[in-house]
Structure 1
Amino acid sequence: MVANDTTTPERADTPPAGFRPWRQLALRVHFYAGVLVAPFLLVVAFTGLLYVFAPQLEAAVYAHQLRVPAAATETPLATQVEAARSALPGTELKAVRPAADDTSTTQVIFTTDDLPDSHYRTVFVAPRDAEVRGVLETYGSDQALPLRTWLDELHRNLHLGEVGRLYSELAASWLWVVVLGGLALWFSRHRRARALRTHPPGRARVVSWHGIAGAWLAAGLLFLSATGLTWSTFAGDTVSRIRAALSWQTPVVANTVPAPAAGTDIGFDRVREIATASGLTGRVEITPPAGAGSAYTVQEVQRSWPTQQDAVAVHPETGAITDSLRFADYPLMAKLSRWGIDAHMGLLFGWVNQVVLAALMITLIATIGFAYRMWWLRRPTRGVVAPPPRGAWRALPRPAVPAGVLALCGLGYALPVLGVSLLAFLVVDVLLGLRSQIRAG
């Protein structure tokens, strides 16, 4: 378009006039949301980067417990379990994970009263001669060892318990808001990757770097935000209720059977053979019957790609398979949930998954660094123009305001930490505005 003699040509990166109130509002929210959440995101990024390579660190630190020299023969699984029982008398057997190959140990998992929920004591037994290689505290369905458990809790709650989990939920709740706001701002100005080369040194170039890095990161950060919220305290409860209402829960194999008549038990070795014959050929966990009327449960525990999570229930007296569940038969949302969680943890695609997550975390740290640099170059003490003025919402189309209020109320209900922090942000912003008006007379 060619401008006439009485107008000034509009810059190519200037948004249309009708979009300007939206852009000013987005810029203000993005700026203050960044100020609020950036320190938490830095902590999440650093601790997440440490956690990404925890499996390799775990394998190196606990090599004695996890690995044994290859042997041509092995003792019966029942003998290995008895050796583990002798190492931890007075505990209750929870499950057994037979050695996955000829250089792995068998993991015999026990519950004890002195440990929190989802924490267990695991005895590591050499299959070749039932030698006890060590006893370690393990955590969760992935059997995380102490080092990985420590890194996991650092990432999740900074070792501050339930109170500490609010920091990660705050970061995950605001991350998608910051990302979407940043994308809207970037593309509203028609930025291109070549801006990195055309902008002169200074703040404009830092803005370019920040925007380009954020645009490349967007999909990965939105994924981490969504999957991270499923573990959170308050938003996670909302996710659980939604999944229950829509029947999106992960199915489980039924392990209820008629009580054995003679009281005989076919034992772990026979159960393992039956499960293998039924197609469970990967790494498995065998859970013994909880009592009369309960079956053995054998569950595959491989969470890499392709995911192996098949399960069968085996009658403890007859050896008959009383129920089976194949991962291929999971509802789609249950599969997506499984894949999403495993990808978030760096398990789904092995080292490739880990490298991608590490690159995401490093680039996120750099992006936040660019943001702080932008603020420093435009800090109030230099007398530079402040962020867009308050009240941009007044210029929005009238129907947008009540619709936006309703949307924010819904978001606040679904994501309480986001709602409470947003309300606090609005209160502080109003107080700062009143102080400015009083100072201005």
Structure 2
Amino acid sequence: MTSTISRQPHGDKPPTATQEPAATTGRSWQGVRALLVRLHFYAGVFVAPFLLVAALTGLLYTFTPQLDQLVYGEELSVEQVGETPRPLVEQIAAARNAHPEGTLASVITPPGPEDTTRVVLSLPELGDKQRTVFVDPYTAKVQGELTTWFGSTPLTTWLDDLHRNLHLGETGRLYSETAASWLWVVVTGGLILWIGRSRGQRARSARGVLMPDRSAQGVRRTRSLHAATGVWLALALFFLSATGLTWSHYAGERFGQLLSAANGSAPELDTSLPGATPPAEDEHAGHAEHGGAAGGEQTDVDPAAFDSALEVARDTGLGGTVEITPPADPSSTWVVAQNDNTWPVHYDRVAVDVQNSEVTAHTRWADYPVLAKLSKLGVQGHMGILFGIVNQILLAAVAIGLMSVIFWGYRMWWQRRPTRADRRASFGKAPARGAWRQLPLPVLILGIPAVIALGWALPVLGVTLLGFVLADVAVGLILRRRTADVVRSPGS
């Protein structure tokens, strides 16, 4: 990605503060480049702080598995790996003896032989969070308890909120959606400007695009580092932008509408018990798979039924770690869902009639629509849990690379500042205004509806882009008025 403020060689005389560069009336494809230069500059200057915060908080979140083990190792891991786990009924009994409060929401089997079983309790005072009791599966000894959020520890939850909304609630989510909405725009503009530049033979070689120019000095060297690093990061940044938008507030809602329209949503598991009469109003519909929602206002179910539901699910072929959720009401089945996020993933789910020891419904990961699979895998990859430590290292490298690119971008802006004795400034001047007047008519005719459609699909991008345009117009009017005042001044 190339900085728009480095279009002229370092040391060239910039326009004076009262000059407004003359707009070229001729329309050509150079106008597209000029517009990209200005857009890339403003997006870089004003959106880069959001991207910097997102990269830094994302870097912290990337290593939550290791941080969890460091902080909560006593709860998450067993003291000694045994040979045969105790039945779930014994583990649940131990957890309930230590913590009789609330009701049983779900039980999550250990992901590995060194991990503890999680007995999840629902308490009204915790809201959408749960109390999770960690039990040694080999001894049925309670290792401890934590307040969790959909299985996440307090530390992971805190870092997730920091990355998602800076602990400012729904209002804070605008920061991350702004970053995700503009990231792909900045990357696309930077790639076009860097790859399509026409200065010298070096620009035509792949090495000239992929590698920084070591012979360059000053702003040219900074630009080379900024752009070449951006090229290497481009695919990963596109991925992070797209996956971040899928669960953002406004763009995420649009994405959900797209999935529904394209029949790309994940299949729903039918949890109705055959032959049972459903309640008049099912307040728990659709929540059976989110451990903690089901059974939150019920009395505890028979702990032995967890073993029965698990046995039926295992016989059906559900291996690995699973989450067992009791029925939401008397007319519903038990739900056993695979919860293995590491590649190759396992997300099969079964509805179990415990009384008759049979599976009444089954959704298989293999049967998910392509869009649903891509969405699910994209989220896991964005969170750094899809390919284990490799995924974490890649995300960390991308986060550090993005922070470096942002640093070099701001450095270029500083290096472009006027340094003459009679004209000193803290930063360089923005690229010339009026680039839209140079756009070819086909670009204008097709571009305006495309931008409007893009603004609908990505509302935060649309609103902030409109803000940039209005601010640019206001600045232009102010500069024009100042120029007119200087012309009319007797001492001009």
TM-score (norm 2): 0.82
Question: Could you say which residue in structure 2 is the equivalent of 1:76?
Answer: 87
State the distance in 2 between where 1:103 and 1:175 align: 40
Question: Could you say which residue in structure 1 is the equivalent of 2:308?
Answer: 270
Question: Could you say which residue in structure 1 is the equivalent of 2:253?
Answer: 237
Amino acid at match of 1:138: T
Moved over 4 A (4+): 263-266, 380-385
In structure 2, do the counterparts of structure 1 residues 217 and 294 end up closer, same or farther at CA, with 3 Å as the change threshold?
same
Aligned residues: percent identity? 48
The within-5 A match list for 1:221-300 is 221-258=237-274, 267-300=305-338
Amino acid at match of 1:120: Q
Question: Could you say which residue in structure 2 is the equivalent of 1:10?
Answer: none
Question: Could you say which residue in structure 2 is the equivalent of 1:85?
Answer: 96
The residue matched to 1:42 in structure 2 has which SS?
helix
CA-atom RMSD in angstroms: 2.2
Question: Could you say which residue in structure 1 is the equivalent of 2:354?
Answer: 316
State the distance in 2 between where 1:201 and 1:410 align: 42
User: Which structure has more RCO (C-alpha within 8 Å, separation ≥ 6)?
Assistant: 2
Alpha-carbon offset, residue 399 of structure 1: 3.2
- Structure 2 residue runs of 5 or longer lacking an equivalent are 1-26, 278-300, 485-492
Question: Could you say which residue in structure 2 is the equivalent of 1:210?
Answer: 226
Alpha-carbon offset, residue 198 of structure 1: 5.7
Contact 2:187–2:237 (8 Å) recurs in 1:
yes
Q: Which moved more, 1:220-229 or 1:276-285?
A: 276-285
Q: Could you report, residue by residue, the CA deviation over 1:243-289 in whole angstroms, capped at 9, with x for unpaired residues?
A: 1121111123211113679x999711122122112111111111111
The within-5 A match list for 1:17-96 is 18-68=28-78, 69-96=80-107
In structure 2, do the counterparts of structure 1 residues 253 and 385 end up closer, same or farther at CA, with 3 Å as the change threshold?
closer
Q: Could you report, residue by residue, the CA deviation over 1:322-362 in whole angstroms, capped at 9, with x for unpaired residues?
A: 11122111111111111101000111111111111111001
Q: Which moved more, 1:99-108 or 1:352-361?
A: 99-108
Q: Could you report, residue by residue, the CA deviation over 1:189-219 in whole angstroms, capped at 9, with x for unpaired residues?
A: 1535347336421111111111101111111
Q: Which moved more, 1:63-72 or 1:187-196?
A: 187-196
Question: Could you say which residue in structure 2 is the equivalent of 1:159?
Answer: 167
Contact 1:96–1:107 (8 Å) recurs in 2:
yes
Match of 1:413 among 456, 459, 472: 456
Q: Could you report, residue by residue, the CA deviation over 1:38-89 in whole angstroms, capped at 9, with x for unpaired residues?
A: 0011100111111111101101211111111122344320121122233333
Amino acid at match of 1:434: L
The residue matched to 1:197 in structure 2 has which SS?
coil
Q: Could you report, residue by residue, the CA deviation over 1:169-192 in whole angstroms, capped at 9, with x for unpaired residues?
A: 000011111000001101111535
Amino acid at match of 1:180: T
Alpha-carbon offset, residue 19 of structure 1: 2.5
The within-5 A match list for 1:76-225 is 76-117=87-128, 119-140=129-150, 143-190=151-198, 191=203, 192=205, 193-194=207-208, 196-197=212-213, 199-225=215-241
Amino acid at match of 1:93: L
Question: Could you say which residue in structure 2 is the equivalent of 1:305?
Answer: 343
State the distance in 2 between where 1:157 and 1:110 align: 27
State the distance in 2 between where 1:44 and 1:385 align: 26
Alpha-carbon offset, residue 382 of structure 1: 4.2
The residue matched to 2:384 in structure 1 has which SS?
coil
State the distance in 2 between where 1:317 and 1:236 align: 40
Question: Could you say which residue in structure 2 is the equivalent of 1:337?
Answer: 375
The residue matched to 1:196 in structure 2 has which SS?
coil
Question: Could you say which residue in structure 1 is the equivalent of 2:6?
Answer: none
State the distance in 2 between where 1:73 and 1:313 align: 27
Count of aligned pairs: 422
In structure 2, do the counterparts of structure 1 residues 73 and 400 end up closer, same or farther at CA, with 3 Å as the change threshold?
closer
In structure 2, do the counterparts of structure 1 residues 159 and 265 end up closer, same or farther at CA, with 3 Å as the change threshold?
closer
The residue matched to 1:399 in structure 2 has which SS?
helix
The reply to whether residue 346 of structure 1 matches residue 371 of structure 2 is no
State the distance in 2 between where 1:392 and 1:165 align: 33
Contact 1:75–1:128 (8 Å) recurs in 2:
yes
- Structure 1 residue runs of 5 or longer lacking an equivalent are 1-16
The residue matched to 2:147 in structure 1 has which SS?
strand
TM-score (norm 1): 0.91
